[in-house]
Amino acid sequence: MKTNIERGVTILLIFWLTGVSFTIYAQSEKNLIRQGNGLYEEKKFSESEVAYRKAIDKNNMSSDAGFNLGDALFKQKKYEDAGKQFLENSSAITSNNKKSASLYNLGNSFLNANKIQESIEAYKNSLKLNPGSKEAKYNLAYAQDLLKLQQQQQQQQQNKDQKDQDKKDNKKEDQHKDQNKDQNKNQDNKQNQNQKDQQQQQQQRGISKEDAQRLLNAIANDEKNVQEKVKLAKAAQEKVKTLRNW
């Protein structure tokens, strides 16, 4: 089942040379390309790849074999390898039409490899050489829409991630506040308990030093007053004489 990208991409296959079946022995570059084209039309893409590679071995400057090799790789979903082949091929081609077609297929390879920005640049370069290409215009618009959608999804994901992070940070802050409250509460409880313990200890020990000193002072004052009273009584007895009978 084709993906959305595959439905939006049209691959160009250029058969620069057409031909009929032939023997596999003593094959020339052109015959190998013909063989590859026949296998490609039969959807035997891996076999056609082999034939195109053999043609390149015969003539490594063959732009036709290099282009069709990229197509065979593309059909096998070897998009990275296909892109490299089309990029190399576009650099070797002098014809604007062929170069434009190679850059177009380079864009398709990038698009299927999810390298959307690179595919846009390839389509633009293809259109510079062939402004009338409907396929390149369509795929360029498709890639640009796809890039906008991808950017929107990335932004939404970033916003979601930021919200999730904010929630985590707020939760940590609330937990920290709760911990501080518990610590303060424990400290208050500890202080109250210490005060109670001190009061109990004082009650167990009895009166304080200050109270004891005041009590001793009061007792001393009472004793002094008593002594003064005794002295006054003795003095009074000495001064007052008892009357005698006449």
What span, in angstroms and rounded, lies between the C-alpha atoms of 113 and 118? 10
At residue 94, the pLDDT reads: 85
In the block, residue with structure tokens 């020990």: 205
Q: Where do the domains of the chain lie, and which CATH numbers do they carry?
A: 1-223 (1.25.40.10)
What span, in angstroms and rounded, lies between the C-alpha atoms of 113 and 119? 9
Q: Is the pLDDT of residue 162 over 80?
A: yes
pLDDT digits 0-9 by tens, 85-143: 999 999 888 889 999 999 999 999 999 999 999 999 999 999 999 999 999 999 999 99
Task: Please indicate whether residue 24 or residue 56 has the higher confidence score (pLDDT).
Answer: 56
Ranking 4-8, 13-17, 104-108, 163-167 by mean pLDDT, the lowest is 13-17
Angle between helices 96-112 and 63-75 (to 10 degrees): 20
At residue 108, the pLDDT reads: 96
Residue 243 pLDDT level (bands cut at 50, 70, 90): very low
Could you give the C-alpha distances from 49 to 6, 27, 39, 75, in angstroms and in order?
20, 16, 9, 10
Mean pLDDT score, 175-194: 81
Q: Is the pLDDT of residue 172 over 50?
A: yes
Q: Where are the alpha helices (DSSP H) in the chain?
A: 4-7, 29-41, 45-58, 63-75, 79-92, 96-112, 116-129, 134-205, 209-239
Q: Is the pLDDT of residue 145 over 90?
A: yes
Percent of all residues in the chain with a pLDDT value above 70, rounded to a whole number: 74
pLDDT digits 0-9 by tens, 29-58: 999 999 999 999 999 999 999 999 999 999
8 A C-beta contact, residue 81 and residue 100 = no
Mean pLDDT score, 141-160: 94
Mean model confidence pLDDT for the chain: 81
At residue 127, the pLDDT reads: 96
What span, in angstroms and rounded, lies between the C-alpha atoms of 39 and 36? 5
Residue 16 pLDDT level (bands cut at 50, 70, 90): very low
Task: Please indicate whether residue 48 or residue 224 has the higher confidence score (pLDDT).
Answer: 48
At residue 226, the pLDDT reads: 64
8 A C-beta contact, residue 150 and residue 120 = no
Cβ contacts of 108 within 8 Å, gap of 6 or more: 9, 10, 11, 74, 119, 139
CB atoms within 10 A of CB 199: 10
